[in-house]
Chains A and B, each alone.
Chain A
């Protein structure tokens, strides 16, 4: 029987690593990630999980130890946040370039200076170009399900890339909520034994990741791009298959809510997607035709889904818990980029909200929607990027 538990998303990420039968975990503590790896340490030391837990001396070493272990033929897991993720940056490139299917929970936290321990997505979004697949979760159950789905995806021979499963610090990481942990045999049936494109093997000795001249380098990069495109195709399939077996589906790349007849569709990521649903219900009651689409997978970016949404709505509004200084939020920028070659494009307005853990409630989102509806009626967007609830 599947087991219902009530626990924090961090602990649930630990449950997911155990359910995936991870063999090597290498991790370094950072708030708010700590309870993920504490849970795993507890599992390993109490023999509830058959894995090596390497207590490394930095996040950089955590990622490199995962690279070493994944290259030696076992499933690996790690978790980090903010500055820990930034410290890993170089190793993130090495992991994807080596085509190793490592899965990492990123407990989103704002970047300093100044210090902040509260959530926004600037840590993981800053790693956009590292060749990692990125999932963003809206609740505790999705954290569990996405970790399992991520292994299934990453170890697919048409992908062989690493993935981050991102969950916002405190909003999810330390919040107790119910989650269903499926039977181990059913997970084993869904997620077979670890598979990787290559291993360090004394019987088949090769040099791995050695110097590549300009004659070859571009082809290796192109293969990563192809793998990302393959992932885009596979994620909805895996999500459907998972849903059929375990009862939870997340729309594959993008989760839509009341979008079908919507004039205004709000694009969000992470937990704002849940709050936005409440806002949509309220606005709908007031007669406004509003929907919300939560970008669940940010890399690969769901360009085709965004185009479809653009084809049915008069306006798209993006809400970014992130800012690319000197430009705008990535969700805004990439939504617009996705639509540029469309013959007919809706208006797109960008909002920045919730940086460094500032609350984004359904009221905040209703306010954003009302502003957007005004722009829609006027037929133009006055401000490309608007910061929400900013002190004067």
Chain B
């Protein structure tokens, strides 16, 4: 598929309240195009609370249930159960939550929904901090990043949420990035066709929080992927597979230096050379893990057999 083949219909309406250059808003528009309008959105407290606009307006042309911060997974379970009772199983239920609402406060309800096999797609749109409340640190904030609650840089690593979801042995886990729209659309469409819990972790650059020019959102996401800091992959029934363009980056020499990524954003201004070295070591370790997963998946042994 090409960009031109995407549906013309717009279900994210004009006049929404996202910041200029908002990565999540770009991806939300694509999500609607990928999944169509026979969907029910479940949205906890997050930037999309604001993006959709205040009562009596909305920028969503599909039904959207706003729900408590920590409870997206639980709401989706209730909605899918009711749809099943009403014999409306063809409607797709979509959880759309930020990183705080997913990896921190919402992890319990999400884990519960996944363990119960709730038939829905959950997308964590990850801008690596609590954006809606003014950029406080979350469990998804990367090491070294400035946030309003880590003014000298975060001292802990980013939580590996997609792998936590893979440990639930759900049928589909994928990573995505705002800067690779077709990859995201294809993954959504694949997820829609699968029965059970589907989890997509979307890196969604945020000019307001990451401190870069609003015109550079796509560039930021590309740099994250090209430097190997954010890796695009799928785990389908336990089979791990790198997605393009991450697949060719298994060769370390093809990856851009991570320094370039850090230099492009104000939030990493405090990062020292030794921090960059430390992060590079972690990135290399992560890639070793992906290499192992690939070789496991190539044999009969799936990732789920390993966990």
Contacts and interface: CB of A to CB of B under 8 A. Distances in A.
Interface string A1-45: 000000000000000000000011010000000000000000000
Given A72-B86, A202-B37, A202-B38, A212 B55 contact: yes
Contacts of B50: 211
Contacts of B58: 206-207, 210
A211 B49 contact: yes
B40 A54 contact: no
B42 interface: yes
A211 B84 CA distance: 29
A72 B38 contact: no
A97 B64 CA distance: 16
A127 to B, nearest CB: 16
B170 interface: no
A91 interface: yes
Greatest chain A CB density within 10 A among B50, B75, B82 is at: B82
B71 to A, nearest CB: 4
A41 to B, nearest CB: 14
B83 interface: yes
A55 B116 contact: yes
B305 interface: no
Nearest to A55: B116
A67 B75 contact: yes
A66 B71 CA distance: 12
Interface residues of B, number: 44
Greatest chain A CB density within 10 A among B49, B62, B67, B76 is at: B67
Nearest to B50: A211
Interface in B55-93: 55-56, 58, 60-68, 70-71, 73-79, 81-86, 91
Interface in B122-170: none
B54 A72 contact: no
Contact of B52 (A62, A71, A76, A210): A210
Interface in A150-165: none
Contact of B64 (A55, A60, A74, A207): A207
B82 A23 contact: yes
Contacts of B112: 56-58, 61
B45 to A, nearest CB: 10
B265 interface: no
A169 B40 CA distance: 39
Contacts of A72: 40, 78-79, 82-83, 86
A210 B83 CA distance: 22
Contact of B42 (A60, A68, A205): A68
B61 A205 contact: yes
30 contacts: A26-B74, A26-B77, A52-B84, A52-B85, A54-B81, A56-B112, A58-B112, A60-B70, A60-B74, A61-B73, A64-B74, A64-B75, A64-B109, A65-B74, A65-B75, A68-B75, A68-B79, A69-B78, A70-B78, A70-B82, A72-B78, A91-B71, A200-B40, A200-B63, A202-B39, A205-B63, A206-B63, A207-B66, A208-B65, A211-B53
Interface of A: 23-24, 26, 50-52, 54-58, 60-62, 64-74, 76, 90-91, 94, 200-202, 204-213, 216
7 closest pairs, A vs B, by CB? A68-B78, A57-B112, A72-B82, A61-B74, A65-B78, A207-B58, A52-B81
Given A61-B77, A72-B83, A202-B39, 20 more contacts: A23-B82, A24-B82, A52-B82, A54-B116, A57-B109, A64-B67, A64-B78, A67-B78, A68-B42, A68-B74, A70-B82, A71-B65, A72-B79, A200-B65, A205-B64, A206-B63, A207-B63, A208-B63, A210-B66, A211-B55
